[in-house]
Structure 1
């Protein structure tokens, strides 16, 4: 398998699932690690996130960034699989990659079982939330694009991030506690369940 063909096909063959919780289970952006996210921390985290996502550094998030990010991820994946770094992926390297992925899936399954989670139900829930095109994420990004130009500026990104923070900040003290995060998650789950139920009944 040569490098060019591999890079074109890896995107369809491999799926990377990003983590949403910071190390230790706290919120992302919690700079002092006290488990509570302040509005200033949320704003700083949004600034860093935008810079990371703006792959081509043109000051906006659009299709060009998604394409560049996909290519970057595919290149990194190729490098990981190409164990001997000869610019090609051999059958043995590909099979080893498959075995490693299977082992990681099994390990995740064991951890979910130990935590009392239903892996199948979790996959179905994620499919319902995100859909074939990453529905939930796409809707969030569409809401952030307030001027409808199919690109998200840093200002739009910051505004959307702080709006999510403010929605979770129930007592308006400019900080979101673990209890407020949990309440926001439960409210969102209830909203998703209501939407799925409405879709199922054709309402």
Structure 2
């Protein structure tokens, strides 16, 4: 039971491979609900994207190639965002951000009610925005805590992942989180699963 609850929280908080990320659930639909059918559809779409030769299975090579592609795309997008943020700070367009320009941008954020001293496009050590292998888009392929996601999905250890194998984990996580078994995970069920899993992790660490 503990492992099931932990798996549910993993799905809801960080999103398993092939599944729908929690950010998309919370922001993409009114009410932040997620249906089992939506998970199945998203799994199928992701599987099709990874199955390069369209033979109905995903090999390690296809899995790794897709992971590399996704990582490169995220890196490119982070670079674009950094450039845009820098350009917004560099008001005189001299290729540098002066202390005055940074202070002016920071003050404007404060005046706009967006906080003070936390400009993400910062200068002199300030962060240049979020991003990373997980990001806010589709869940990463690298797994959590060094987990080998391909090996985890390859249930029969034949070196290939079928759609059924790819679907098993996210659907099991969804089912564990769907407390009333109505085929929909609500924000309340998501929060409950997270809280229960955090307690389980704390007890496990002892």
Could you tell me the TM-score, scaled by structure 2's length? 0.49
Q: Which has the higher contact order (CA 8 A, sep 6+)?
A: 2
